[in-house]
Chain A
Amino acid sequence: MAERDVLETDVLVVGGGPAGLAAAIRFKDLLDEHNKTAQKKVEASVMVVEKAGEFGGHSLSGAVLDPISLRELFPDFKEKGAPVATEVTEDHVYMLTSSGKIPLPIVPPPLQNHGNYVISLNQLVKWLAAQAEARGIDCLAGFPGAEILYEGDRVVGVRTGDKGIDKHGKKKSNFEAGVDLRARVTILAEGARGSLAKQLISRLELDQGKFPQVYSIGVKELWEVPKGRLPKGAVIHTMGYPLDSHTFGGGFIYGFTEERISIGLVVGLDYRDPFLDPHGLFQKLKEHPLVRALLEGGKMVRYGARTISEGGWYSIPRPYADGVLLVGEDAGFLNAMRLKGIHLALKTGMLAAETALEAVVADDTSAAKLKAFEDRVNASYVKRELWKVRNFHQGFKHGLWAGLVHSGLQMFSGGRGLVDPMAPSRGYAEVHKLAEYYGPGASRDRFQRLRADGQLTFDRLTDVYHSGTKHDEDQPTHLHVADPTVCETRCKEEFGNPCEKFCPAAVYEMVPKGDDPKDVRLQINFSNCVHCKTCDVMDPYQIITWVTPEGGGGPRYDDL
């Protein structure tokens, strides 16, 4: 048996997105700065591991970037060639009906994007990784953080995933054991619903006294269209259709270049309809006359989906413990009202780096020392911004109209609104049972999937193909269902198997066991998985656990 390698580093960053890379870059820059002036030079290493085969491969966002924190990290980001080139030129917000649109007379301040940029997060992350590499930081793509290494309750690093295990769990001839990466400070930067952060938060009860995290799912396509359809830099947000007024969410349409449009739909993962199908709803959005006119005759080039941490300030767990910090969306730093998280990911990464360096220099990486991260967050614009919108998502608990009233009142009261703090519910608990929603006797057969035309609308498999997703088929499934008999019995009857509907990548499929089409079992097509984590968030019995598959597997979000 191959021996497990052990590597030591001072700071280990798990997840090479904007938060993780900003943390690594900032750490190295501050360390160099420190050593220029300090009498006692400090030697410290920082390493980034990323599950995607290439940095940016799993990075997906709308995306409109507020450059505030990128400018702090790289005052000369433009000269350095950061792929941040499309300044927002116009903002529109529409309330959509099934065939019409009502423009909002004024664009609400949180949705005003003057000075912001339409970007591809994939491109930005690739660029950040190159900046990190150029600083000599070890950036290792294709290595997922599979489990946290503890000593007592202290985090002492992360074990990367094994490679070369076949679908029966046996080692293949090319088996390569995961490596124990031991670090004085581990920074978890996995993005929304990180699989390690989930374990850590629960084990150390970091969410004690906090509200539960609330998520949305974003489904997105990148389109190539004839010139002149949408001005470069145009930003459109939509509310209403195709979502009913009980479902939180909305559409976004961004003019990324003259010929490229980013379009997507965000749906709150606290919906009621057990048949709700975010991918299908997104297809319906594209059929709306407003959108059809922009896309028709164009070509879809890329697809992706990802959950978003929407809960806001009150849902952020304690972001530190012995030996560990939580940054970016892994902790829930995202402004749901402004639909922005990248700038907060970068900023919290930077603040974590400052804290980590201080701790490494002082040779004290205990929770008491790392609490400085929380203090830094509280003293920064991260809190100022999130505090103002602390009740935003919760305001929509009773639907769109109540939500708009709440957010209006919140806007004029510094975020307080009518109730403060307003508690969200756990999203999966909001889903109604079939009988409640569709009436007694309703069964799963009632669900009808939208028919795609293959031009403007696509079925999930076509979209998954365009996500560039690839996993070695000969490996154990990375979607663990604690008890699949629940799917065949209780869930089938009570909810009609919502996993088949909420998964935007056709991973979950109930297939007949034999001749009787009603006698079904769960089939998990794990190789389709785009790593969005919706299943982990949304399954009503909370029996699905998303773990990291073999490193390098997953989508390839080029230009998304």
Chain B
Amino acid sequence: MKIIVCVKQVPDTEARIRIAPEGNAIVESDVNWIVSPYDEFAVEEALRIREAKGGEVVLVGLGPERGQAALRSGLAMGADSAVHLKDPLFDAADTAGIARALATAIRALAPFDLVFTGQQGVGGDNSQIPGLLAEMLDLPQVTMAVKVELEEGKALVNREVEGAHEVWETSLPAVVSAQKGLNEPRYASLKGIMAAKKKPIDVKDAAALGLQAADLAPRTKVVALELPPPRPPIRMIEGDADTQVKELLRLLHEEAKVI
């Protein structure tokens, strides 16, 4: 089996985000970059399938130079090789442009059996790439996968819906997006990290993919970013238990208006 996994580098979920003076981007120098956690589930699932069925796992990532660290992390977990899409045109693209670049790169890797992505990138949280990829590659897709079983030429995928699981059957190749709960990603082993330094990363720019500026021109743009409002300070209610309960009820009723 040949499995493609899209890997994105995102700000650490613990990072304290600051908005840049222009108001529509974050200050990147403050940020510690990690592999998007959903992409880690995707990489892990691909590796497990490869371990069970044989084959290879190819990572595809798009981003500036620093993004290569995310690909190295995936290689350290055990992926075989990686493609790094790097071009100033990509940095300016919107999700449609990014999906176009990814789809073009993935098409060049055909034949393949599966394309895994995270169900969303932790960062922009647009959740558009899996759907756009399926459309552009003309493949079936199953999103929010929490279990993947492969049979001859098809896959059974459990996807998470509100309070339940749906079981879908899809032909292969297909695009599957990984949800939390799919697996517990492995740690990159010490040997894995050392080996990852020697694994190939194929760097491609827009020209190498045969894409022009017009193919990647953004049709949407971020106009403004806002931080969530600061949490109001915690209020301690003083007094004996009786007074506290009464005061709590009053506050919940009159101020919070939840009861």
Which A residues are within 8 Å of any B CB, using their own CB?
Answer: 5, 7, 49, 54, 138, 140, 143, 160, 163-164, 172-174, 176, 179, 181, 454, 468, 470, 556, 558
- CB of B14 within 8 A of CB of A7, answer no
- CB of A176 within 8 A of CB of B184, answer no
- CB interface residues, B 176-210, toward A, < 8 Å: 183-187, 189-191, 193-194
Q: Is B32 an interface residue (CB 8 A)?
A: yes
Nearest-neighbor residue (CB-CB) of A163 within chain B: B187
- CB of B190 within 8 A of CB of A174, answer no
- CB interface residues, B 46-95, toward A, < 8 Å: none
- CB of B193 within 8 A of CB of A174, answer no
Contact of A470 among B14, B185, B191 (CB under 8 A): B14
Chain A residues with CB under 8 Å of B185's CB are 174
- CB of B184 within 8 A of CB of A174, answer yes
Nearest-neighbor residue (CB-CB) of A172 within chain B: B184
Contacts A138-B194, A468-B14, A470-B14; A176 near B189 (Cβ below 8 A): yes
- CB of B190 within 8 A of CB of A5, answer yes
Instruction: Beyond A140-B193, A143-B190, A176-B189, list 7 extra A-B contacts (CB 8 Å).
Output: A7-B191, A140-B190, A172-B184, A174-B184, A174-B185, A176-B187, A556-B32
Nearest-neighbor residue (CB-CB) of A139 within chain B: B193
- CB of B184 within 8 A of CB of A173, answer yes
Question: Chain B 26-53 against A: per-residue CB contact (8 Å), 1 yes, 0 no?
Answer: 0000001000000000000000000000
Nearest-neighbor residue (CB-CB) of A2 within chain B: B189
CB distance from B168 to the nearest CB of A (A): 24
- CB of B187 within 8 A of CB of A7, answer no
Cα-based distance from A49 to B191 in the complex (angstroms): 12
Contacts A138-B194, A468-B14, A558-B32; A174 near B187 (Cβ below 8 A): yes
Nearest-neighbor residue (CB-CB) of B191 within chain A: A5
CB distance from A521 to the nearest CB of B (A): 24
Cα-based distance from A89 to B116 in the complex (angstroms): 56
Chain A residues with CB under 8 Å of B190's CB are 5, 7, 49, 140, 143, 160, 179, 181
Nearest-neighbor residue (CB-CB) of A177 within chain B: B189
Chain B residues with CB under 8 Å of A49's CB are 190
Cα-based distance from A163 to B192 in the complex (angstroms): 14
Cα-based distance from A470 to B186 in the complex (angstroms): 18
Chain A residues with CB under 8 Å of B193's CB are 140
CB distance from A41 to the nearest CB of B (A): 23
- CB of B187 within 8 A of CB of A164, answer yes
Cα-based distance from A49 to B193 in the complex (angstroms): 12
- CB of B184 within 8 A of CB of A179, answer no
Chain B residues with CB under 8 Å of A172's CB are 184
CB distance from A468 to the nearest CB of B (A): 7
Contacts A138-B194, A556-B32; A5 near B189 (Cβ below 8 A): yes
